[in-house]
Amino acid sequence: MRIGTGYDLHRLCEGRALILGGVKIPYEKGLLGHSDADVLTHAIIDSLLGAMGEKDIGTHFPDTDISFKNISSTLLLQKTMQIMENNGYKIVNIDSNIICEKPKLLPFMDKMKENLAPLLNIDESDISIKAKTNEGLDSTGEGEAIAAQCVCLIEKV
């Protein structure tokens, strides 16, 4: 068994959709990035890559590569799952946090799990997604950004 951690943070901006866990969240701002900037999916990808001993998401899917411009992060997750399969690993469980002041994410948590579970080849019960605030402190607390953290456990098949 191997453990990996992942973290991502993107600035909020106008004129972009807010995508978290592959789910479009109604909000007046979205996340700025080369891809769709889905911080939750990016943190999951980095945790999986780290658990396998691979290099990070930016190495595998660089923002200098035009083919990744505005790409759905769920497609990057599918590519990551192919790397896992090629290396003979499967996921045991995922535990994650999304850190933001707004919007409130509780109404979207089940949909995120429902969306991610088939991509990760695990049951929804093996995914934990929690939403936290930073109590008005730092860029996430001031509503300028959204961050995500993830820990995963994987095993050889």
- CATH (residue range 2-156): 3.30.1330.50
pLDDT of residue 123: 98
The residue type at 87: N
> pTM here?
0.97
pLDDT 10s per residue in the chain (157 long)? 999 999 999 999 999 999 999 999 999 999 999 999 999 999 999 999 999 999 999 999 999 999 999 999 999 999 999 999 999 999 999 999 999 999 999 999 999 999 999 999 999 999 999 999 999 999 999 999 999 999 999 999 9
Tokens of 61: 């899917």
Angle, CA of 84, 33 and 96, to the nearest 5°: 50
If you write DSSP's letter for every residue of the chain in order, what string do you get?
-EEEEEEEEEEEETTS-EEETTEEEP-S-EE-SSS---HHHHHHHHHHHHHHT---HHHHS-TT-GGGTT--HHHHHHHHHHHHHHTTEEEEEEEEEEE-SSS--GGGHHHHHHHHHHHHTS-GGGEEEEEE--TT-HHHHTTSEEEEEEEEEEEE-
pLDDT of residue 139: 94
- The CA distance from 139 to 4, in Å, is 25
Tell whether the torsion through CA atoms of 15, 39, 141 and 114 is positive or negative: positive
In sequence order, what are the residues at sequence separation of 6 or more whose Cβ sits closer than 8 angstroms to the Cβ of residue 45? 6, 57, 73, 76, 77, 80
pLDDT of residue 15: 96
- The CA distance from 152 to 51, in Å, is 7
pLDDT of residue 141: 94
pLDDT of residue 59: 96
